[in-house]
Amino acid sequence: MTLDAICTTRGLLGHILLNRPKALNALTLPMVEVIAPTLAAWAADPAIKAVVIRGAGDRAFCAGGDVRAVWDAGLQRKRGEGAGALTAAFFAGEYRLNRQIKHFPKPYVALIDGITMGGGVGLSVHGSHRVTTEKTLLAMPETGIGLFPDVGGTWFLPRLPGRLGLYLGLTGARITAGDLAYACIATHHSRSEALDDLERDLETALSSAPDANSAVEAVLGHHAATPDEPTLPAHRDAIDRCFDADSIEGIFARLENEGSDWAAKTLASLKTMSPTSLKVTFEQLRRGAELEFDDCMRLEFRMTQAVMDGHDFYEGIRSVLVDKDRNPKWQPASLDAVDPAFVARHFAPPADGDLTFPG
Ligand code: QUE
């Protein structure tokens, strides 16, 4: 039997391999259930000095959460078939793991070599070291599947420079290494073909260095390369102007008035997203700016339970991952028809209680 996540030790280095290459290493509950207890043990184990996480295959670090499985369970839950427990268990497990990474007391090095979306972002951004390559393509695309930028998006997106977080979280824009460095999402850059050597050098350096963080920094510095030119700086003023409005409608109006190609494309892209998701995400990131990390994760869990009771998540997964027609029929279909009471429900305690954290 092959495990979908393989945790091994290499000397003083803990190593996590996301091992579903055919599914772009999309994160499943069984993977979470392998990784979480291992990370907890490594946090307490003096024989582990640092952790590396990497994806198997040459295409992806991790394309997201296994939302297809959540979709199946959510449909059962809607039909009252009871098996919908996974919808709560998956998000709870994933968010608790995000929190473990955020509070992990040793260097945590994510090698985000390839596609990194949604759940994959949650396995990387909260760690101390985020290494991109020329193959990195990262996005928080959840508004396009009727969800919202979760896995700690509530925490990290409002803390990016200017209005970049709102821009990335609403549009789902896909960005590469240069932009990830510019947005302070990545900390280091290396060449994809150097990563095997980099991992070996980490193991060697940790075995002799008194200080794990200095050893990790030295190895990442030794393998440093120059990323592609960032594209965001050219649009940064427009992003900060347009996404500084006090509502989604206000952002739409500012993009309309902007009069540039970039603004027209950005507006067109936003108009393909779930109107409910856009409004929910706007409120999520407004609140997140003021919340502690753990409260962000509790809030996201609340939000998932409202999403599972709604329409657009099912339609989004259908259109993107099941039928792949990329033609979702959102309900409601326009911003003005989104019920403020339904948006508000995303931020209220769920019927089965709030997310709790062990310890
Ligand atoms: C938004 C998402 C996800 C997505 C596409 C979106 C997501 C996710 C996947 C995905 C991709 C490839 C796979 C897979 C899942 O796509 O979270 O199993 O093989 O996991 O627009 O949030």
Quote the ligand 1 centre to 150 CA distance (angstroms).
Answer: 13
Residue 275: which domain range? 5-345
Q: Is 153 annotated as catalytic?
A: no
Residue 341 phi, psi (nearest 5): -65, -35
Q: Is residue 356 part of a domain?
A: no
Asked if 71 contacts 319 with a C-beta cutoff of 8 angstroms, the reply is no
pLDDT of residue 175: 98
Strands 108-112 and 50-55: parallel
pLDDT of residue 83: 64
Q: Which of 66, 94, 142, 203 is catalytic?
A: 142
Comparing 44-48, 101-105, 275-279, 350-354, which segment has the lowest mean pLDDT? 350-354
Q: Is 119 annotated as catalytic?
A: yes
State if residue 151 touches ligand 1 by the CB under 6 angstroms criterion.
Answer: no
Quote the ligand 1 centre to 78 CA distance (angstroms).
Answer: 22
The number of folded domains in the chain is 1
pLDDT in tens, 140-185: 999 999 999 999 999 999 999 999 999 999 999 999 999 999 999 9
pLDDT in tens, 181-209: 999 999 999 999 999 999 999 999 999 98
Q: Is residue 350 part of a domain?
A: no
CATH number for the domain that contains residue 75 = 3.90.226.10
Quote the ligand 1 centre to 65 CA distance (angstroms).
Answer: 7
Q: Is residue 61 part of a domain?
A: yes
- By C-alpha distance, which of 43, 29, 49 is closest to 219? 49
Instruction: Write out the DSSP string of 243-303.
Output: TTSSSHHHHHHHHHHH-SHHHHHHHHHHTTS-HHHHHHHHHHHHHHTTS-HHHHHHHHHHH
Q: Is residue 102 part of a domain?
A: yes
Model-level pTM greater than 0.95? yes
Q: Is residue 182 part of a domain?
A: yes
Q: Is residue 357 part of a domain?
A: no
Comparing 67-71, 219-223, 299-303, which segment has the lowest mean pLDDT? 67-71
What atom of ligand 1 comes closest to residue 66's alpha carbon? 20
**Can you tell me the distance from the alpha carbon of 263 to that of 251, in angstroms, rounded to the nearest whole number?**
10
Distance, C-alpha 175 to centroid of its chain: 13
Q: Is residue 150 part of a domain?
A: yes
